Structure 1
Amino acid sequence: MGIKQKFELKGKVAIVTGSSKGIGLSIAKGLAENGAKVVISSRKQEAVETVAKEFNSAGLEAIGIACHIGDEAQRKALVTKTIEEYGRIDILVNNAAINPFYGPLETSGEEVFDKIMNVNVKAPWLLSNLVQPYMKENGSGSIINISSVEGIHPGFRLGLYSMTKSALIMLTKNQAKEWGRYGIRSNVVCPGLIKTKFSESLWSNEKLVAGYNQMVPLQRMAEPDEMAGLVMLLASDAGSYMTGGVYAADGGYLISG
């Protein structure tokens, strides 16, 4: 098989959480364009159906299944409905995340801690556990967890978020170590500053952006589409020997200063 064919995902089924906008949407579109049947998922059914219809109109195969990943019943329904529709799950992209707090560690309340841990760490762990039996049955599968450079290098006023993203990196490594025997690969992508609604509070600050651009080697922040290529590699046979890896797509942020 040639390298071009190894990137093809025809016959594969992918679930992408938080995929009605931002990085998740770009990843979902990339997977669909490479031939995968994609499940668009985020909290609101109307939003996921809109994206799925846009994909279908472009000749791509996709369905929309709403899921608040912090809710146990909705996680189970997401997996059950995917199996009912497509009969298999080959790729899981744990992209959905929240950051409800921006400030010093000592000023946050326990409620915020519980909320961010539930969505950013507990949910990807449990959702991965739900898809694992189907991947195990197939003898193959790719789990791609979307972390952040903040999970590797601490930033100011993002302490709780950084903690969750660091935990997600270790979850990935343990999945890779425990599930590799079943042909299941798990890798983690750590984006830098991306121009999405999620990070708008950062990139809308002109002073902060100017400082960031001056610091990183590529001298700019990224567009959501720039994260999709790395995920295509990790999801496909082109990345068949890649597991337990931590891959930054950060414009050189981690090697700056």
Structure 2
Amino acid sequence: MASLSALDLFNVKGRVALVTGGSSGIGLMISKGLVTNGAKVYVVSLLSDPITEVVNELNELGREAGGSAEGIPCDLTSKDSIKELGKTISQKESTLDMLISNAGIRRDPPQSCNVLTASLEQLQASMWSIGQEDWENTFRVNTTAHYYLSVALLPLLAAAADKPIGDGIKGRDEGRGVIVITSSCASMHNVTNVDLTSYATSKAATDHLVRLLAAKYNRFYVRVVGINPGFVPSNMNPVGAEGNIFSSLFDKVPAKRAGSSEDLAGTILYLVSKAGAYVDGVSLCVDGGRILLANGQE
């Protein structure tokens, strides 16, 4: 008999996850939510990130529920590095229940202006000031890395989806074998006072990548879903920090606040568990209703 208990529907205890960009911001929120609920999390970050401290914190958080964390460095702009990451995880695990492909960057034009009020000359100078390498690196991390990560880890994800659980049930029936890709509600905005063009374009590409990958992996029922967070505390959006370019906008969000770790962790727990096992190929906007009322920033 099916259980409708929340403890069963959202259970991730003992599951194996890989979270990129997991040492800060949204990735850290997600990692905390997973270990607190008993998952084993491989936290992928740059060598320059404080991975040891983060892993220690996560292991302490997960102690009571049996959750744990391990840090692995990886340069997500490199196809070869992602290939090595796939090999490393394959040596440690026979299945991977979830890939949370979350890492992202934002590169604004170094010569900034208020896009809504700048003169033609000011606007042109600002837009021209961003370097080609900034566009290229933005797409490498925000879009291309999701693609290569999904391909490198596909066998482990497919094995998790196909894993026999008992009574004719397979892992896919419990939500195992899922890829969650972090996009942004910026992919849905056109008018902004700050020039987010390279960032927003890469995130719009990511939204379509979710559907493309879900269609490609359908025969193995490796689900691919996306999340489009709104204003959430991160290095990109230092909520509460002096001079934050978005600080005046929080009261315009219907929720009247920035997003929280509960908002992000709860969304992820739904998508990767039995509760979300029938959700595939869609992106979920988690923005407190911001895009309902505004086409960007004012």
Same-fold call, TM cutoff 0.5: yes
How is 1:108-257 mapped onto 2 (pairs within 5 angstroms)?
108-138=130-160, 139=162, 140=172, 141-154=177-190, 155=192, 156-200=194-238, 204-205=242-243, 208-210=246-248, 212-257=249-294
Partner of 2:167: none
Cα deviation, residue 37, structure 1: 1.0
Q: Map Cα deviations across residues 63-99 of structure 1 (whole Å, 9 max, x no partner).
A: 1111121122321222222222233211001111111
Aligned residue type for 2:34: L
Q: Where do 5+ consecutive residues of structure 2 fail to align?
A: 113-125, 163-171
User: For the pair shown, which has the larger CA radius of gyration, 1 or 2?
Assistant: 2
Query: What is the Cα-based RMSD across aligned positions, in Å?
Result: 2.1
Aligned residue type for 2:19: V
Indicate which of 19, 27, 45 corresponds to 1:24.
27
Q: TM-score, normalised by structure 1?
A: 0.91
Partner of 2:88: 81
Q: Is the 8 A contact 1:88 1:134 kept in 2?
A: yes
What is the percent sequence identity of the aligned residues? 29
Q: TM-score, normalised by structure 2?
A: 0.79
Q: Where do 5+ consecutive residues of structure 1 fail to align?
A: none
Q: Distance in 2 between matches of 1:18 and 1:122?
A: 15
Per residue, is there more helix in 1 or in 2?
1
Cα deviation, residue 216, structure 1: 1.5
Partner of 2:108: 101
Aligned length: 256
Q: Is the 8 A contact 1:27 1:225 kept in 2?
A: no
Q: Distance in 1 between matches of 2:252 and 2:41?
A: 37
Partner of 1:8: 11
Aligned residue type for 2:237: S
Q: Distance in 1 between matches of 2:57 and 2:88?
A: 20
Partner of 2:99: 92
Q: Map Cα deviations across residues 214-241 of structure 1 (whole Å, 9 max, x no partner).
A: 4211222223442111011111111011
Q: Distance in 1 between matches of 2:150 and 2:232?
A: 25
Q: Is the 8 A contact 2:35 2:41 kept in 1?
A: yes
